[in-house]
Amino acid sequence: MICFTTFELMNFLENFSLKKHNTFGIDAKAKYFSEFISVSELKDILNSEIYSNNKTFVLGEGSNILLTKDFEGLIMHNKINGICILEDHENSIIVEVGGGVNWNDFVMWSVSQELSGIENLALIPGTVGASPVQNIGAYGMEVKESISKVHAFNIKTRKSEIFSNEDCNFEYRNSIFKGEVKNKFIITKVEFELSKTPLNKTTYGAIQEELKTLNLRENPKNIAKAVINIRSRKLPDPQVLGNSGSFFKNPIIKTERFNKLKKEFPNIVGYKISETKTKLAAGWLIDNAGLKGYRKGDAGVHKNQALVLVNYGNASGQDIINLSKKVQHTILEKYGIAIEPEVNLL
Ligand code: EPU
């Protein structure tokens, strides 16, 4: 028997515009750009001369980055696909998902199978591979609650490794992939344990209200629908108005300090997250400082959600940075609180 193996030559695009690869819609260029659809293609890229001679960055859908200038190096785009059921138990399933799969597509698959655990995270932009990095969260749910394992490729040893949920050191918008092992691994696949029993987490925000308005009962599919409605009303669609979701993190401060601020600003919004700590709604701080809807040139603070910065068309990364500095400065002056970007600056 004679077998032929087909393979594509690794493709490095040069001087590549990243406008369609970042949800802010910033027209910055990459010196080189290459995609991988498998671990083996990733290995080929890592063995190339272009990889050795350039700084690099792994990009998913570019939904949590701000390109501040042209990238003088190699952008590697994860396109590893596939959703595979590994184990089918009485109350749950284990599913392995390619890092390049669109996050919302995976949520839609999950609810179509009547599985539960990620439905409140519907419509979060980005890829499955990026979801553990900042432990994406919304409407009372975080992805860390469903992740069982993360498969990541160790750039130094050139071997795949598996991180258990505990290994990932998940925290609010944080994980080991943003800390200790930052830039040392490339996430290739993620395993999730999804429940066959609906979790029905509907106490956060306006989910229950939305279900009532839609006249829908609580189940994963309907909760996803409610979340999609709420998000679409509040958050700008990146296809229409460039943005990358929350630009800033909600700052965590001592409850003692929160109580003092509350005396001065009785309407301030905060959630107690432990005995001594409170998470402040940065959106409220910005809104109450009068910056909601503020615009300078093509960079602006969104009119419905002050935590989101937007590109009205031709803003450069630097325009957005200048705006974010103005917001940070105003918040520091007014409340004595330092807020930090949630998006990664490149
Ligand atoms: N608020 C204002 N004015 C604003 C925005 C918010 O007063 O312009 C107040 C709201 O009234 C509310 C509070 O601030 O009382 C919190 O607002 P919201 O519930 O909209 O959530 P958030 O804290 O602003 C976080 C996540 C979002 C996630 C939502 C829903 C962060 C940094 N952001 O936003 O995540 O969708 O909760 O759970 O934690 C993202 O990361 O890109 C993102 C959109």
Encode pLDDT of 78-137 as tens digits: 999 999 999 999 999 999 999 999 999 999 999 999 999 999 999 999 999 999 999 999
Q: Which two tokens stand for residue 42?
A: 């990733």
Q: Which residues line ligand 1 (CB under 6 A)?
A: 138-139, 205, 235, 245-246, 249-250, 269, 281, 283-284, 287, 292, 305-307, 342
Q: b/e string for 87-112 if b means 16 or more Cβ within 10 A?
A: eeeeebbbbbbbbbbbbbebbbebbe
Q: What's the CA angle centered on 182, arms 65 and 60, to 5 degrees? A: 40
**Domain made up of 1-234: CATH architecture:** 2-Layer Sandwich (3.30)
To test ligand 1's pocket by mutation, which of 229, 248, 284 has the most ligand atoms within 8 angstroms of CB? 284
Identify the bridge partners of residue 263 per DSSP, sorted by sequence position: none
Give nearest CA residue, ligand 1 atom 24: 283
Using the atom order of ligand 1, give the atom closest to the CA of residue 246.
Answer: 42
- What's the rounded Cα separation, in Å, for the pair 305 and 245? 10
Asked whether residue 303 carries a pLDDT value surpassing 70, the answer given is yes
State whether the Cα torsion 165-137-191-220 is positive or negative.
positive
Confidence at residue 95, expressed as pLDDT on a 0 to 100 scale: 98
> Hey, what CATH topology would domain 242-345 get?
3.90.78
Confidence at residue 204, expressed as pLDDT on a 0 to 100 scale: 84
pLDDT in tens, 317-337: 999 999 999 999 999 999 999
Which residues have a catalytic role annotated? 173, 246, 342
Cα of 283 to ligand 1 centre, how many Å?
Answer: 6
**Domain spans in the chain, listed from the N-terminal domain onward:** 1-234, 242-345
89 alpha-carbon distance from chain centroid: 29
Region 147-174 average pLDDT: 97
pLDDT in tens, 186-211: 999 999 999 999 999 998 878 999 99
Cα of 212 to ligand 1 centre, how many Å?
Answer: 22
Confidence at residue 11, expressed as pLDDT on a 0 to 100 scale: 86
Q: What does each C-alpha distance from 123 to 64, 190, 325 come to in angstroms?
A: 14, 18, 28
pLDDT in tens, 206-265: 899 999 999 999 999 999 999 999 999 989 999 899 999 999 999 999 999 999 999 999
Confidence at residue 5, expressed as pLDDT on a 0 to 100 scale: 39
Region 29-42 average pLDDT: 95
- What's the rounded Cα separation, in Å, for the pair 7 and 14? 21
Q: b/e string for 295-310 if b means 16 or more Cβ within 10 A?
A: eeebbbbbeebbbbbb
pTM of the model: 0.89
Q: Write the single-letter amino acid at 313.
A: G
To test ligand 1's pocket by mutation, which of 61, 246, 265, 324 has the most ligand atoms within 8 angstroms of CB? 246
Residue among 10, 17, 97, 107 at smallest CA distance from 51 = 10
Identical topology for domains 1-234 and 242-345? no
Cα of 337 to ligand 1 centre, how many Å?
Answer: 17
Confidence at residue 4, expressed as pLDDT on a 0 to 100 scale: 46
Identify the bridge partners of residue 341 per DSSP, sorted by sequence position: 248
Region 21-41 average pLDDT: 95
Region 288-304 average pLDDT: 97
